[in-house]
Every structure is written in structure tokens, then in C-alpha cells.
């Protein structure tokens, strides 16, 4: 029996639904990224793993382009897409029940066989269809993935299949266990990984309004709506500090460092669990190859939706990174 398709439910709202206009936008964003970064021509050979944001393209599309221009799909047979769940509380992790994911450019085929094996090995749940349709953390990457496949392969018949996964609320040990399940796939050069995450969500509507009058993390204070303690150092400098600490922890390549950083700061990195399990998987690949500490992310871009000056303001941060495996 044919598997149902997941519609492109956020087209014409979070991003352009017209394929011609959307293509021009994504190609323009990719062209705006330099042709080389850190003396490496793009795409970076072996950069099969990226972190990229999932907000509306008007906000995060340009930042996402930095990660996607680094992404090397030349050997890819499948692309894993890992995102957090925004539409329901997910204890553990889950796989899609859909056979295709629609985009304005065309459908991407889901690798049902690989998902079945992962579900069996890890005890993953099924994503309820209604939540799959309403979730944006996976969908926002599909047009960019399609575009990069289009730029890499000569026809859609050659396109890799996709492996959509939602990574839910896992503790440190559970993230390591999911990482162990994904490690063999990560070690395979025919697999690429896209990790969906925004960084700090600051503001009362996110229930996260912290401030430090200095550059010291232990001076963090929680601001109220009427708080007047913000003097001198602007709020957006605190947000930048929090995000930089999180990105520094990710760049160590140590899963524990990232997990412990967020435990300390409570930074609202919405894709912390997808990032965490892939960091754990990277560490596991390094151990298995006798190359511990080799596989690390490198951030190439950091942007924000706005610079917060007032306690009533809000912002969301975006980061783009790649890892060579």
C-alpha cells in the first residue's frame, strides 16, 4: 500500500510557495555566501553534517545558506534530517510514517527501510501524522536540501532519499544511546546529516529573559516585565555571550560539554537534543576509528532576528555549522 505524502504545509507562509520565486531566493542566498571559508572551497569535501536554523526564510534563510553551501552531498545516497518537536511533547525520539515529503520543487522520497531499522533498534515511536504536518523543524530544511541536490545531481532520479527523525526530550545518557544507534549511519560516507536548530529564544514570550551586567556567566539575572536593572551593557550582548558559550561547547566535540553548558545557562537552544545526539554519534565514530576528538563542528555564521535593547523586546538567534566526517 502506498505511503501517504506529507504536504508542504508551511509553503506560502514561512517561505515562498511559488517554485520559481523560491528558487531565485535560495539560489541568491547561496550565491551571497563566499566561495571559500577558512581556506576551504565550498562545498567542503567530507562536510556531510551541518547545523542550520529552521525559522521562516525571511529571518533565517540567509544564515541557513552558509551551512548548506558547506554541505557535501557528492556521495550521498540518503540524507538524515533531525529536528526537535514543537507541536507535542515527545519523550524519546520518533520517525515519520510518511513515504514522501512534498516541497514546492517536487517530492523527496522517504527511506522507509532505514527508518524501520532505526525504529526497531532504538525503540523510536511514530510521529502522529497531524503533528508531522504541523511541525516546521524538518520542513524548513527540505527546500534547501532539494536545491542542493539539484545542484549536485543531474536529475531527480539520482536524488538521495531522506530519513526524517524527531529527537525529543532525552537526558544525557539517553542522548548518548541514540548517538550510538546513529553512529554506524554517520560513519557511512553515503549518508549526510542535517540538524535543525535555532539558538537563543529571548523574551518574555519564550519565558527566557536573562541578563548579565558583565561578561560573566555567573552574574545572570532573570528580568521581569518592569525590570530596570538593564544599565550600560545592552541585553543583546548577554544573548551573544550565551550563544557563543553554547557554540564553543559544540565546537569542543564533547557531548558532555554541550549538555553541561545548557544545564548551567538554560539557554533556549530548541534543537539541543538533535545536536546532542549527533555530537554523541560523532564521538562514538571517533572512538571506533581510534580517532577520539577528531570529528567536531565548526561554526561559520551567527545571526539574530534583532538586537534586543529593552526587556519588552524579543529575538531568536541562528547559527550555521559543518562537520567533516
Structure confidence at residue 2 as a pLDDT band (50, 70, 90): low
**What would the pLDDT profile of 36-57 be if each residue is shown by its tens digit?**
998 999 999 999 999 999 999 9
Residue spans of the domains in the chain: they are: 5-324
Average pLDDT on 222-247 reads: 90
CB proximity list for 117: less than 8 A, separation 6 or greater: none
d(CA 8, CA 31): 25
- Which tens digit of pLDDT belongs to each residue from 61-79? 999 999 999 999 999 999 9
Region of poorest pLDDT, from 62-71, 161-170, 229-238, 248-257: 229-238
- The CATH-assigned architecture of domain 5-324 is 3-Layer(aba) Sandwich (3.40)
Among residues 72, 76, 79, 68, which one has the least CA distance to residue 46? 72
Q: Cis before residue 43, ω within 30 degrees of 0?
A: yes
Per-residue burial over 250-278, b if 16 or more Cβ lie within 10 Å, else e, is bbebbbeebbebbeebebbbbbbbbbbbb
Share of the chain above pLDDT 70, in %: 99
The reported pLDDT for the residue numbered 1 is 45
> What is the arithmetic mean of pLDDT over 19-39?
97
Q: Stretch 151-161: mean pLDDT, rounded? A: 97
% of the chain with per-residue pLDDT over 90: 93
In the prediction, which pLDDT does 38 show? Answer: 84
Tell me what the mean pLDDT of segment 285-292 comes to.
Answer: 97
Residues 188-217 have a mean pLDDT of: 95
Distance CA 295, CA 297 (A): 7
Instruction: Please give the model's pTM, rounded to 2 decimal places.
Output: 0.97
Amino acid at each position: 500500500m502506498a505511503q501517504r505524502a506529507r504536504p508542504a504545509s508551511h509553503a506560502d507562509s514561512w517561505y515562498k510557495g511559488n517554485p520559481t520565486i523560491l528558487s531565485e531566493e535560495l539560489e541568491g542566498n547561496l550565491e551571497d555566501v563566499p566561495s571559500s571559508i577558512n581556506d576551504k572551497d565550498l562545498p567542503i569535501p567530507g562536510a556531510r553534517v551541518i547545523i542550520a536554523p529552521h525559522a521562516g526564510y525571511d529571518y533565517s534563510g540567509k544564515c541557513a545558506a552558509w551551512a548548506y553551501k558547506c554541505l557535501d552531498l557528492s556521495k550521498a545516497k540518503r540524507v538524515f534530517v533531525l529536528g526537535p518537536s514543537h507541536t507535542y511533547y515527545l519523550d524519546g525520539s520518533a520517525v515519520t510514517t510518511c513515504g514522501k515529503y512534498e516541497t514546492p520543487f517536487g517530492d523527496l522520497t522517504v527511506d522507509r527501510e532505514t527508518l524501520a531499522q532505526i525504529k526497531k533498534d532504538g525503540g523510536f515511536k511514530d510521529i502522529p501524522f497531524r503533528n508531522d504536518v504541523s511541525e516546521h523543524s524538518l520542513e524548513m530544511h527540505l527546500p534547501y536540501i532539494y536545491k542542493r541536490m539539484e545542484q549536485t545531481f543531474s536529475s531527480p532520479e539520482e536524488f538521495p532519499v531522506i530519513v526524517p527523525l524527531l529527537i525529543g526530550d532525552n537526558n544525557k545518557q539517553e542522548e548518548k544511546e541514540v548517538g550510538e544507534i546513529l553512529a554506524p549511519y554517520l560513519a557511512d560516507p553515503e549518508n549526510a546529516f542535517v540538524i535543525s536548530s535555532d539558538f537563543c529564544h529571548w523574551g518574555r514570550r519564550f519565558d527566557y529573559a536573562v541578563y548579565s551586567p558583565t561578561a560573566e556567566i555567573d552574574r545572570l539575572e532573570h528580568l521581569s516585565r518592569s525590570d530596570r536593572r538593564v544599565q550600560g551593557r545592552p541585553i543583546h550582548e548577554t544573548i551573544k555571550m550565551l550563544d557563543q558559550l553554547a557554540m564553543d561547547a559544540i565546537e569542543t566535540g564533547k557531548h558532555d560539554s554541550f549538555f553541561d553548558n545548557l544545564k548551567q545557562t538554560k539557554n533556549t537552544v530548541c534543537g539541543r537534543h538533535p545536536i546532542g545526539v549527533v555530537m554523541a554519534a560523532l564521538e562514538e565514530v571517533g572512538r571506533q576509528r581510534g580517532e577520539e576528538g577528531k570529528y567536531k563542528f565548526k561554526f561559520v555564521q551567527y545571526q539574530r532576528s534583532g538586537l534586543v535593547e529593552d526587556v519588552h523586546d524579543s529575538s531568536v538567534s541562528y547559527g550555521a555549522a559543518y562537520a567533516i566526517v
